[in-house]
Amino acid sequence: MSKIVDAAAAVASIPDGSSVGCVGVIGWVTPDTLLKALGDRFREEAAPRNLTFYFPVGTGDAQGIKGMDHVAQEGLMKRIVGGSYINPVDPVTGKRPELMRLIRENKIEAYSWPIGATMHWLREVARRSPGYMTRVGLDTYIDPKHGGGRFTERARDDLVKRIEFDGSPYLFYPAWKLDTVFICASSSDEYGNLSFENDALVSSNIALALAAKGSGGRVIAQVRRQVAHAERPASDVRIPGMYVDAVVVDPNMMMTTDVKFDAAFFGGSRKPLSQLPPIPMSADKVVAMRAAQEVRKRELSIFGFGAAADVPLVMAEQGKFANGGLQDYWFTTEHGSYGGIVMSGWQFSANLNPDAILDGVYQFDAIDGGLCQFAALAFAQFDEKGTVNVSKFGVANPGAGGFIDIAENARRLVFTGTFTTGGLEVDFDGGKLRIVKEGKVRKFVPSVEHITYSVASGVARGQSAQVITERAVFDVTPKGLILTEVAPGIDVRRDVLEQMEFAPLKMADQLKEMDAAFFASSLHDRKAG
């Protein structure tokens, strides 16, 4: 009997009070048709009610690919546990996602876990273990000492516990059942055998399917096309049909935001790097160019969202990958794409021209095992105790994503971002930087609003760390920040020290000037091969 059904039929039997897990990485591998069908059902029938949603990664862009915003409805969503949240301002409506409103107004129980935990927890659910135990995240916001990952006051249950094992502290995430999961693949036959030959990421697909089956639950897949049984080699089928209960075919699904389909994201074709559009000259680009100086050949380098993701792109502009040079640089992100060029913006998470794509759970095995030795990550706040925050600040509640796992386990860390934010305007003149308008929000603060990671503690146990901005560079020590570089044209007192809400530990004895070439507006000219 064929497992191919329409979306409304696929979600029709989800009962009140059940738990629903869903794959998705921003727009990548997002079963948007299934999420929309569930949201539509609730609007039409006022059912199902009081669901717990489990999103290992932030799913959808809350705009063209709405993802988790389809189900962000009072009454439908009781609780959400997510590895990250999407929080952009819609350029058309000027509004932030509906899910963010529900969180800000305390309408739902909201929890945010590090993505390493959301991935590895699925493995424990699948094998019916008591739960997931790890040292990653101790003394951060996910630690019960600092809130246990709660993002709303309604979130009162202890989903994470701090325990002691063999004389050492650990975080423990108790297992609970997933009743239904939505997954996303390239192809399915009538029996539900799934393959990912045209997808840029695998992410949590396999782990979600096995966790649902280990819980006695249902697996519903969304695919681009139906193929004949036995048309594909068995080695291409990553999820056997006996683990799949229903399949919805949507030939019009987007690959990701602004990309209908591009084979260069999964290695089906190769795109010349010269076809990449140049990054406009900006403060973020300056940050990326300075951070690029820290990238080493043949050292596995992992990049986070924001200015950090622009680093490989500016290296391409600088011609560092010409004549096969890209093979000397080993790039990845937390989502499992290896080789090629890390992309930024809505295309972040997948790489262009990748060499390999690793399953999401295994990728965090690699990250937690310290295989990504260099990490370039963003920062929203940095305080005088050497603590960094990217997870919750102001009206933004993005969560940590893979930040904590990456930061705790890399050897060399670079934190990238503008010095201030909220309206910052800069200009470039003759190889110098000029602050036209200072940002309203200072990012160097006495105490961060949310503890994402203690950089000072990491440095004390052997990591090295820098903070790179468009106007200044700091080394991080266990006792504080050392100002080591400033941009040409910058007044140190006015533009650096007076824009910080705490004093750095000291200035370097020989304060260096950042490379004037970073501030030449002609740098947007592409030199890639």
Query: Which structure tokens are listed for 231?
Result: 């048309």
Look at residue 513 and tell me if it is in a domain: yes
Among the candidates 249, 265, 297, a domain finishes at 249
Look at residue 264 and tell me if it is in a domain: no
β-pairing verdict for 331-332 and 301-303:
parallel
Residues contacting residue 145 through CB under 8 Å, at least 6 positions apart:
139, 162
Catalytic sites, residue numbers:
334
Among the candidates 216, 249, 282, a domain finishes at 249
Look at residue 13 and tell me if it is in a domain: yes
Cα atoms in the 13 Å half-sphere on the side-chain side of 415: 29
User: Are both 353 and 312 inside the same structural domain?
Assistant: yes
User: Are both 308 and 397 inside the same structural domain?
Assistant: yes
Altogether, the residues listed in the chain come to a count of 529
Report the pLDDT value the prediction gives residue 525, as an integer from 0 to 100.
Answer: 38
Query: Which structure tokens are listed for 10?
Result: 């696929």
Report the pLDDT value the prediction gives residue 429, as an integer from 0 to 100.
Answer: 87
Look at residue 509 and tell me if it is in a domain: yes
Parent domain of 123: 7-249
Contact status, residue 392 vs residue 450, Cβ threshold 8 Å:
yes
* DSSP letter string, 165-233: ETTEEEEEEE-----EEEEEEEEE-TT--EE-TT-S--TTHHHHHHHHHHTT-EEEEEEEEE--TT-S-
SS3 of residue 256 by DSSP: strand
Look at residue 347 and tell me if it is in a domain: yes
User: Are both 239 and 312 inside the same structural domain?
Assistant: no
Look-up: residue for tokens 């007076």? 498
First-to-last alpha carbon distance for the chain, in angstroms, is: 52
CATH number at residue 42: 3.40.1080.10
Task: Give the orientation angle of helix 205-214 with respect to helix 115-126, to 10 degrees.
Answer: 40
Domain count, the chain: 2
User: Are both 63 and 209 inside the same structural domain?
Assistant: yes
Return averaged pLDDT per consecutive 10 residues of the chain, 529 residues in all. Answer: 97 98 98 98 98 98 97 98 93 93 97 98 98 98 98 98 98 98 98 98 98 98 98 97 98 97 95 91 96 98 94 96 95 98 96 98 98 98 98 92 98 98 95 97 98 98 98 98 98 98 97 95 43
Look at residue 60 and tell me if it is in a domain: yes
Among the candidates 234, 249, 264, a domain finishes at 249
Look at residue 529 and tell me if it is in a domain: no
User: Are both 245 and 277 inside the same structural domain?
Assistant: no
User: Are both 242 and 383 inside the same structural domain?
Assistant: no
Q: Round to whole Å and give the CA distance between 481 and 472.
A: 11
User: Are both 305 and 397 inside the same structural domain?
Assistant: yes
Cα atoms in the 13 Å half-sphere on the side-chain side of 356: 10
User: Are both 219 and 359 inside the same structural domain?
Assistant: no
Integer-rounded Cα Rg, in Å, for the chain is 23
Q: Round to whole Å and give the CA distance between 407 and 382.
A: 14
Look at residue 84 and tell me if it is in a domain: yes
User: Are both 373 and 244 inside the same structural domain?
Assistant: no
User: Are both 241 and 278 inside the same structural domain?
Assistant: no
Query: Which structure tokens are listed for 518?
Result: 């970073």
User: Are both 80 and 122 inside the same structural domain?
Assistant: yes
Report the pLDDT value the prediction gives residue 306, as an integer from 0 to 100.
Answer: 85
* DSSP 8-state secondary structure symbol assigned to residue 396: B
User: Are both 144 and 244 inside the same structural domain?
Assistant: yes
Look-up: residue for tokens 């991080």? 476
Look-up: residue for tokens 């350029």? 91
SS3 of residue 165 by DSSP: strand
Q: Round to whole Å and give the CA distance between 320 and 329.
A: 9
Report the pLDDT value the prediction gives residue 522, as an integer from 0 to 100.
Answer: 56
